[in-house]
Amino acid sequence: MATHASLFCRFLDGHRRVQYFRKLCVRGANSDTQLHPSVAPKQSELESIDTTSAAHKYKFSIKTALKQKRFTDDSKPFSAFLTDTFGRRHSYLRISLTEKCNLRCQYCMPEDGVKLTPKAQLLSTAEILTIARLFVHEGVDKIRLTGGEPLIRPDVVDIIAELRKLEGLKTIAVTTNGLNLARTLPRLKQAGLSHINISLDTLVPAKFEFIVRRKGFHKVMESIDKAIEMGYNPVKVNCVVMRGFNEDEVMDFVALTEKKPVEVRFIEYMPFDGNKWNFKKMVSYQEMLDQIRQHWPDIGMVQTGPTDTSKTYQVPGFKGQVGFITSMSEHFCGTCNRLRITADGNLKVCLFGNTEVSLRDAIRSGASDEELLQIIGAAVGRKKKQHAGHLSLPQTTHPGRISLHHILNSEDVLCLTDWKASTKPTRVFSPNIYGHLRSNTSRSPLEPAPISCTLPPNAKLHQSIRLCHHSSDTDAKLSHTDAQGRASMVDVSVKVPSCRTASAQAIVLLGPTAFSLLRENQLVKGDALAVSQIAGILASKQTSNLIPLCHPLPLDHVTVTFELDEKQHAAIISTTCRTTGRTGVEMEALTAASVAALTLYDMCKAVTHNIIITDVKLISKTGGKRDFHCFQNTIKSPDVKGC
């Protein structure tokens, strides 16, 4: 609170007010963003401003100029307060009505949810409408209500009805998970709701429950049909595509557009605070489009507006269309026209940024519209060129594809290894800071040059963590190939024997029936856990016979354990292998986890074939040249985000 109060006082300081307005006017004269002639002062007026006198004595009246800078006539230039230094005009405002959500999507938030802001610190209905009125008066013509889940808010219908009264506002949209939409849609439409986006990441009910950690698939489908029935066209369906989750359903979503007037929008998996973003799970739009074209080669691109974020396509003859939100592979920062208001009243100029300015504190301190506009204008003026200036994914020879040099080699640590040694040191922020942060200060990064990594907030500096392994392009090579690229076993004879340990994990999603029978040891084939445990141990001993270039190792110890997660109907398999030798045992641990999972599948398949084996991964390895640890070596729920 003190930080926001201090910031607010600085904005209201008379001397800084003149400096800000002088800069704004000069920028209007020297950049592509020109001030309206009735606003721009003459040079003599600028020179005659006495910056040491009181604000009311200025020959160039700031208050008058502020009023003149509001342009409600379409024939006049766009408001300079909502135009940044790169000439982008921000006519689209997203307002979060609440932090609460009735789902726990794995790509969005932790299973236990997020710590909620006290109600007194959230925007009231009156404050939301005050902010909306101010932005619309300055040129915003589209407002989208978001969350959390916006339809949880009891007065959402009243808010929409009041927004509809704002002159100049053309579009009122909502993004919802659809659980409560069908029953409230008639009232929402009557109040003035004009556009709907519904989030849906799978067309398989069981997978839906796994991804969002809640039931409700049929309610979402009912909401889509209800929106179509009530004349919304298109109904936009947002689908976050994640490798290993739902990339196999892309074709099914496209087929959905054949008979229904929906626009399925495939969204590239983005990093947010708490979602344990893993680069390997991101599917680029070009990869998806290539897959679609194999089945519908005549799919064509649809013309869209200059500020649209979606690359839109349509299969000839289909009622609906598909789009791609390419935030990661081909950002659209250059045409960004969006600003965001968080549920607690912070202005956020970039989704990927962690800098926010509290409009709530300014309003509650009695700020006038003119003073609020100065705060807004200053924040917009500081907006970076792209992705808040933090992360720029380099261009590749294949548009839409990410360089293979991007690796995420430990949880929440993103390392970019394709910089040369002469490159200027670059700060690469952890994906964890891209979320809904409420602080005006960033976390302290660990910065080895020339490339830096960021520890996640729960990491201890004394932990044995492999942050990054940097190698130049000339040094990087596969260890199991020779100079001609042929398969070759690594010579470990020169290595010194040492005690080596590795742990791995696999998750088996069984469904409620099979899980119940497994837990009660009532499966027809017998004790599935005991059989799977023995299979995992035996498999670890046979790794070199299964994986061609693995060295045969005498294992000192092997453990295979199980944890049953009732909430997710999942069996979590953990394995550990230990040896004293010249090479590691990570493959033995992974083989044990994999075969134990396959055996569990075999033991349960008489009950159902709808069993998913997922997230087979290395948890840790020690004793070799480089140790490796995930930051969470054990999990209590099948959160299948990789390390």
Q: CA 380, CA 137: separation in Å to the nearest integer?
A: 16
For residue 173, give the nearest of 198, 193, 187 by alpha carbon. 193
The enclosing H or E element of 295 equals helix 285-295
> Who contacts 634 (Cβ-Cβ below 8 Å, separation ≥6)?
574, 619
For residue 156, give the nearest of 183, 136, 137 by alpha carbon. 183
Specify which residues 93 forms β-bridges with. Answer: 143, 339
End-to-end CA distance of the chain: 36
Q: Which structure tokens are listed for 123?
A: 């925007």
Q: Is the peptide bond before 37 cis (omega within 30 degrees of 0)?
A: no
Q: CA 68, CA 39: separation in Å to the nearest integer?
A: 6
**Helix intervals (H) in 416-575:** 512-519, 528-541, 543-546
Angle (CA) 111 112 118, round 5°: 135
- E strands of 376-416, at which residues? 406-410, 413-416
Please tell me which residue in 201, 418, 602, 627 is annotated as part of the active site.
Answer: 602
Q: Which residue has the tokens 């989750």?
A: 245
Burial level of 543, CB count in 10 A (0-12/13-18/19+)? buried
For residue 596, give the nearest of 636, 562, 566, 622 by alpha carbon. 562
Q: CA 406, CA 200: separation in Å to the nearest integer?
A: 28
Tell me the C-alpha to C-alpha distance, in Å, between residue 610 and each of 218, 219, 300, 604: 18, 22, 35, 10
Q: CA 45, CA 471: separation in Å to the nearest integer?
A: 59
Residue 182: Cβ within 10 Å count: 19
Note the residue count of the chain: 643
Q: CA 266, CA 313: separation in Å to the nearest integer?
A: 11
Burial level of 146, CB count in 10 A (0-12/13-18/19+)? buried
Tell me the C-alpha to C-alpha distance, in Å, between residue 14 and each of 10, 54, 58, 349: 9, 7, 10, 25
Q: CA 151, CA 187: separation in Å to the nearest integer?
A: 12
The amino acid present at 85, given as its one-letter code, is T
Q: Is the peptide bond before 450 cis (omega within 30 degrees of 0)?
A: yes
Residue 73 appears among annotated catalytic residues: no
Which residues are known catalytic residues? 602
